[in-house]
Homo-oligomer: A and B are copies of this chain.
Amino acid sequence: MALHHVVVVGAGFGGLEFTRAMAGAPVRINLIDRRNHHLFQPLLYQVATTSLATSEIAWPVRHLLRNRKDVTTLLGSVTGVDPSGKRVLLAGGEALAYDTLVLATGARHAYFGHDEWEPFAPGLKTLEDATTIRRRILLAFERAERESDPDKRRALMTLVIIGGGPTGVELAGTIAELARDTLDGEFRNIDTTAARVVLIEAGDRVLSNFRPKLSAYAKDALEKIGVEVELGRAVSECDEEGVVFGGERLNAGTIIWAAGVAASPAAEWLGAAADRVGRIMVEPDLTVPGQPDIFAIGDTVHVERKEGGLVPGVAPAAKQQGWHVAGTVKARLAGDQAARPFVYKSDGDLATIGKRAAVIDFGWISLTGRLAWWIWGIAHIYFLIGLRNRLAVSLSWLWIYVSGQRSARLITQGDDEDS
């Protein structure tokens, strides 16, 4: 009898964890991703801000699974699912049959009706996004150095981050340090320490998922390192010149979008019910309604917690879901068809502010300051895959910590306008 065939779409935290948890099960697995690498997204902002090299936070998926002879890794784009034929449709016209399908297709930054803002305010989800943002930040300073008009120069030295969640807070803090520490003294016509870093959040506090006193601490810590935090004023316009927020125009040479994400098109593939950002409304056991052989996990699903609120779009949640679904699939193969509802256990929420402070909300306790920063750093080193990357990232961070110097200050892959 042919082995039960599992197709996994997406090699992010959810898809990879599912695949790992299936080790030893009587199945064969095809893992498909559009990219050849698994990306450690929690540190992506450090690539965007010149602290880490791209290869320090990304690993070839097939290398991670090289010893799993039951797993075939495929580079390919999924364009749809045919549930009645039990097939995944691939770009180029191929199709792949499955017995069980796991969709772990993630999310993408989204502009919610303002897609025309994207060219001016890139978001941060892929390595290319990170090198694009890195290029724009560095180019703005290079252009300011050559600009003689003081108004234009001031605009070039104004960097706006839209969105006060963890990504926005981490970007703003690191960019402020980049301008104040790393670049200081290297230009002759501008003073990089006078750069304006403006974090705009439409809500009334940053890090709204954390408890209010941590939000207040984070705002304070950001302001101490020179970030201007603008709360309660939504951005209504984004263009080549800058942004309009709270009715006021601010000219800015660099704008970064950290204000929202939308789910992958997995819900559309299936015609499944979705929430307002496109996440599939899955059953408690993470199956797609009416499709018991199709599971969906991670940032592309909408799961409510019994204590209220949603399971957040973070790596630990996706990993827990991957692990949970693997348990269900293995139980089914062993003859146990009972539905197993998923329960999310929060490991705590973390965010850093520059290289001195962080906030951690464990629920039962919260931490701020240097101790939180060290816990944050050690946790992230721990969750990196492979000794080599742990050594490399540790070296990079040690270097930044001691010297203030960042090693990946490269302007590459220019837009046409830059060449």
Contacts and interface: CB of A to CB of B under 8 A. Distances in A.
A410 B37 contact: yes
A138 B36 contact: yes
A249 interface: no
Contact of A410 (B55, B66, B388, B407): B55
A21 to B, nearest CB: 20
Contacts of A74: 145-146
Task: Give the dominant DSSP class at A's interface.
Answer: mixed
A255 B186 CA distance: 40
A95 interface: no
A409 interface: yes
Given A72-B188, A405-B388, A412-B128, A142 B55 contact: no
Interface string A379-409: 0000000001101100100010001010111
Nearest to A77: B419
A305 interface: no
Interface in A38-59: 53-56, 58-59
A82 B102 CA distance: 65
The bracket for how many chain A residues form the interface is 35 or more
Given A75-B142, A138-B36, A395-B395, A58 B388 contact: no
A55 B413 contact: no
Contacts of A407: 55, 388-389, 392
A140 to B, nearest CB: 11
A185 B139 CA distance: 42
Interface in A135-193: 138-139, 142-143, 145-146, 185-189
B410 A399 contact: no
Contact of A66 (B59, B76, B127, B186): B186
B186 A63 contact: yes
Contact of A413 (B76, B399, B413): B413
A411 interface: yes
Contacts of A142: 36, 75
A86 interface: no
Contacts of A63: 186, 405, 409
A233 interface: no
Contacts of A185: 66
A333 to B, nearest CB: 21
A60 interface: yes
Contacts of A56: 53
Contact of A408 (B55, B75, B146, B189): B55
Contacts of A356: none
Nearest to A50: B55
A408 B392 CA distance: 12
A408 to B, nearest CB: 4
A62 interface: yes
A373 B355 CA distance: 40
Interface of A: 35-37, 53-56, 58-60, 62-63, 66, 69, 71-76, 94, 127-128, 131, 138-139, 142-143, 145-146, 185-189, 388-389, 391-392, 395, 399, 403, 405, 407-413
19 contacts: A36-B142, A36-B409, A36-B410, A37-B410, A53-B53, A53-B56, A54-B54, A58-B410, A60-B410, A66-B186, A73-B188, A74-B145, A76-B146, A131-B413, A388-B399, A388-B405, A388-B407, A389-B407, A395-B395
Given A75-B143, A127-B410, A131-B413, 9 more contacts: A36-B142, A37-B411, A53-B54, A58-B410, A71-B188, A75-B145, A127-B412, A388-B403, A392-B395
